[in-house]
Structure 1
């Protein structure tokens, strides 16, 4: 994820300071101390000395940029990616993988001690995989240059485009369509109505979504059909949709529709169960590590005995595999289309110990029927904002075990406090390095209800 910042309002350049760096923080910034100040600088790593210039400061905490590396670490990796100095996608590629993973783990420990007063032991497990060729889903931005369109990724701290022909992190199939996509978008009559492009390398065919700000015309649709046939892909478009039942035509919505390819060949496999999806569907980007994560989560459920609630379930990434161990599983998500698709998948597979419900877990949901039932185990995998309301609900409902999956340690540390207050103990935790070459990390936290009275 690209991080934006506001530069200092001062027009006077700050004097450079020489700092030696010893650690990495959870944002991937090098940390060093000098003259009573603590400096946080991107693009450096432990063991390096550099001249740095202040960007902004709060007391003795200074965010800075480096102007010159005086002493580079012997461990620094010279990345052979031609976009490494511009693209914001994997900005930690110069740090050795084991060092980066360890820094993420140590950063989590510091954060939980500070925010949740929990002194974490070493993780019970950590899972990692290849750092290149792993990413099966991505979004390309589109920009024009001299009346020609290009796909690519945004530059670090900028809306400018890095034009890419090949990305080391993407799967081979996604890389294979970058150049054909460039040709396709430049052939459109309505080039000025394009938004972005998403790719999903499913376990079946490659899915591609093209965003339009205007309803797709017939000529451009024919070009998409020909493209899909040539590349053996499934292509959908997102375009404005006007519901004839709504009188006020200003109330347009967006709708995704498949325009080319066989949608039945677009699917992901979760715990051996085939889940049909759309090119826009959210899936865990690292196929191999997602399998490892599913195995971990399922191992915390008692076979044939536990009833399980899966919050923020999406298409059922955890829900479906859990049916093989749990007595019953209920999945809940806000996106109606995903829930309806999940129900259809369950029906097609003949799975009778599963159900799916639609609910906004950030708004009042506590009086819904599914929420009044009792569960032995709860699994939840919220977005980056965490699950404040759902956590408070569970803390009072008191299932015997809560398995919290998080890609945001800060939100997870906040939510953990609420569970600890209500007699839950963080009995086990581990990390999945789902996003190598970046500062991001996926965590699994296991909370068990302690058998003592408040």
Structure 2
């Protein structure tokens, strides 16, 4: 008779080890060393000695979980949000804002230099660390058992919603809408078929975009319109991924360098207005725009940089890959009576140097690409041979990669700034000035 051997499952206990935390990474994790590897510890801060268990042991690094803190860093602070630690929106509210900014600046310096010779971060551009976020998308989920509507953000590394009642990183005008908005949406007959709600604070007031999966009946529309009038919120309905129905006439707007820019609720705008204003001013300063300069703005969007540049230069060309943003840029130029700026809709991966508008060349270039960076664009920038290039980045790793092409072509890194666009989070944004020798 055949016999099958079944080994007993080996029972192991996770070993508790004691480590000294020496650094904070941009994502709010403490960094220690163990067995010659970097050990990343969520919730731990530099200067703290902690007892931890290793949760994930990779070849070159490991992850660990705090069991007990043996001392407390003087830079540890009490999180301002009651949802911190559960909500996935913020990762660093337990660290002082000074420590957060220092950690991000060190990470940027390492990425833009080498381990032995980090780059110099000349400046940290920041605004208020609280009440800064002027845009937020909140998930909606009706719970049949409790007959209640959940409204909030996702948990960290989880699809489950955290029911948000407070959010101190939202601008106060949006945070004040959370509870009345929840009450309004909960009262709708179509509450079971809501997707999400997006809140935006424009300079001319708040707006909301409601994604609903089924058609709203007249009663539900009246409830939403009553909420809109009662709280001064411009209302937009989104029955599908493409359609946007405005239940009002005012177009949202914001200001960049004193210019008024209108936008659609779905258009990209910088979330942190205070940092955006400083970022635009610093780009103009670094490029040292002169009245005779011809300037190129790549990935220009609706003109956040393009239009302020045009108030100082002889002419500015804005190039964007999204046709709707090009049209919006043209409208914004016209509304601000700027006649020396031209927008073009182009595939920026193509050789833009062959376009007729590039024939005269450019004195200075600014680019503000998405997270993927601009690897297909850098050789075209170099071919245009500007004296100065400002690169605005939302991903330091792609900035470091793309800057290698400029450095190899004889440009030098002259200025580097860390943009604290998203305090209390792991997002690290930056801008750099390169000048030709």
Same fold (TM over 0.5): yes
1:244 match: none
Residues 119/262 of structure 1: CA separation in 2 closer, same or farther (3 Å cut): same
Give CA-to-partner distance per residue, 1:80-131, whole Å, 9 cap, x none.
421112112222011111121111111111122249x97412x222222221
| Partner Cα separation in structure 1 for residue 375 and residue 288 of structure 2 | 24
2:139 match: 141
Distance apart, 1:216 and its partner CA = 4.6
2:33 match: 33
Q: 1:257 aligns with which of 245, 250, 259?
A: 245
Distance apart, 1:298 and its partner CA = 0.9
1:120 match: 119
> Are residue 354 (structure 1) and residue 352 (structure 2) matched?
no
> Are residue 97 (structure 1) and residue 105 (structure 2) matched?
no
Please give the residue correspondences for 1:8-407 in structure 2 after superposition, counting only pairs within 5 Å. 14-114=14-114, 119-121=118-120, 123-145=121-143, 146-240=146-240, 254-258=242-246, 260-264=247-251, 266-299=252-285, 300-362=287-349, 367-407=354-394
Max Rg structure: 2
78-87 or 410-419: which moved more? Answer: 78-87
Distance apart, 1:419 and its partner CA = 1.3
| Partner Cα separation in structure 1 for residue 41 and residue 210 of structure 2 | 37
| Contiguous gaps of at least 5 residues in structure 1 | 1-9, 241-252
> Are residue 436 (structure 1) and residue 434 (structure 2) matched?
no
Distance apart, 1:12 and its partner CA = 5.8
Other structure's SS at 1:95 match: coil
Contact 1:229 1:261 in 2 (8 A): no
Contact 2:105 2:124 in 1 (8 A): no
Distance apart, 1:79 and its partner CA = 1.8
| Partner Cα separation in structure 2 for residue 160 and residue 112 of structure 1 | 36
Q: TM-score, normalised by structure 2?
A: 0.91
Residues 313/140 of structure 1: CA separation in 2 closer, same or farther (3 Å cut): same
190-199 or 164-173: which moved more? Answer: 190-199
Distance apart, 1:262 and its partner CA = 3.1
206-215 or 92-101: which moved more? Answer: 206-215
> Are residue 408 (structure 1) and residue 395 (structure 2) matched?
yes
199-208 or 64-73: which moved more? Answer: 64-73
| Contiguous gaps of at least 5 residues in structure 2 | 1-9
| Partner Cα separation in structure 1 for residue 313 and residue 11 of structure 2 | 62
Other structure's SS at 1:170 match: coil
Contact 1:208 1:233 in 2 (8 A): yes
Give CA-to-partner distance per residue, 1:361-407, whole Å, 9 cap, x none.
24665644445551111111111221111223213332221100112
Distance apart, 1:46 and its partner CA = 0.1
Other structure's SS at 1:41 match: strand
Contact 1:198 1:280 in 2 (8 A): no
51-60 or 339-348: which moved more? Answer: 51-60
Contact 2:353 2:384 in 1 (8 A): no
427-436 or 266-275: which moved more? Answer: 427-436
> Are residue 423 (structure 1) and residue 410 (structure 2) matched?
yes
Residues 223/332 of structure 1: CA separation in 2 closer, same or farther (3 Å cut): farther
Give CA-to-partner distance per residue, 1:163-209, whole Å, 9 cap, x none.
12221111111012112221222233333332211111111111111
Contact 1:228 1:261 in 2 (8 A): no
Q: CA RMSD in A?
A: 2.2
| Partner Cα separation in structure 2 for residue 411 and residue 178 of structure 1 | 36
Distance apart, 1:305 and its partner CA = 1.9
Distance apart, 1:446 and its partner CA = 0.4
| Partner Cα separation in structure 2 for residue 118 and residue 405 of structure 1 | 22
| Partner Cα separation in structure 2 for residue 237 and residue 168 of structure 1 | 26
Distance apart, 1:215 and its partner CA = 4.7
| Partner Cα separation in structure 2 for residue 199 and residue 375 of structure 1 | 39
